[in-house]
Amino acid sequence: MGRLAGKIAAISGENSVSRAVAALCQQEGASVMTLAGGDEAAWDSAFANIISKHGRVDLVVNAAHRCMRTPIAQQNAQQFMSVFDEIGETAWLCQKYAIMAMRRSASGVVINVSSVLARVAAPGCAALCAADRGVLMSTKSAALECAKAKDNIIVSAILAGRIEGDPAHWPDGSLLPNAPIVTPEDVASGVLFLATDGAAYMTGVELPVDGGFLAS
């Protein structure tokens, strides 16, 4: 029997990581739904649809991501905000409506997929680093709110390493070329660990899946 048997999972993003997470959740027995966000009303109705169909949502994985690599001097505010919004605002909205939906059943797990750029900066990555760090700290803040409200909702983050061949998650191979290459499936395994019942005493944590990149 799968480790997510009977669970209702919803996954945001259209990229290699969201696909790998969806495939693994399905393999472990969860019913998997795709979250297509948008403005606040769109997120609200996305979760309302899941609740009306399944009565609850147990696992929400926010894997939406986008990369841009441009030196600050050549960036305009609009470009900065486009990356910051797509990563940070999407994570915030996904998390907000996930928590509201989970409070109805007083349980759930929210996992945000950030990256090692939340901890290590690189040239040309001002927007990306700020957004990934923003997702991480917003994860921790939400985790503390949920823990203190005693509503049995866990919120944690994965810091994905260098994923090759998916510009939504890593701009290109020339960024931090010494970083070990990890696969979307490696990231999905980390998500599965944080989503299982055995990890219930973990919240507000960051789990790097980076082949040891952050150790040096």
Partner 1 sequence: MRQLSDKIALVTGGTSGLGRATVIALAEAGARVVFTGRNIAGAEETLKRLAAKNLSSRFIQQDVTQEADWSRVMADVLAAEGRLDLLVNNSGVSRLKPVEALTLEDLRFLTSVNVLGMFLGIKHAFMAMERNAGKRGSIVNISALNALRGSPNSTAYAIAKGGTTNLARAAALEGRQDGRAIRVNAIHPGVLFEEGDKPSPGAIALYGEEGAKAFVRSNIETTPMGRLGHPRDIGAAVVFLASDESVQVTGTEITVDGGRSAGEFATHHGVRSQK
Name the site residues for partner 1 (rule: CB under 8 A).
140-141, 143-144, 147-148, 150, 161, 180, 182-183, 186, 189-190, 192-193, 196, 198-205, 207-216
Q: How far apart are CA 196 and CA 106, in angstroms?
A: 16
Q: Which is nearer to partner 1, 122 or 193 (CB)?
A: 193
Closer of 46 and 209 to partner 1 (Cβ): 209
Nearest distance from C-beta of residue 178 to partner 1, angstroms: 11
Token pair belonging to 105: 């059943």
Least distance from partner 1 to the Cβ atom of residue 68, Å: 25
Of 35 and 209, the one with the shorter C-beta distance to partner 1 is 209
CA 185/CA 58 separation, integer angstroms: 21
Minimum separation from the CB atom of position 164 to partner 1 (A): 13
The amino acid at 172: D
Contacts of 193 (CB under 8 A, 6+ apart): 199, 207
Q: How far apart are CA 108 and CA 139, in angstroms?
A: 14
Please identify which residue in the block is written with the tokens 């991501």: 65
Looking at the Cβ atoms of 78 and 150, the one nearer to partner 1 is 150
CB of 170 to partner 1, least distance (A): 14
Q: Which one, of 11, 15, 19, 109, lies nearest residue 59 by Cα?
A: 109
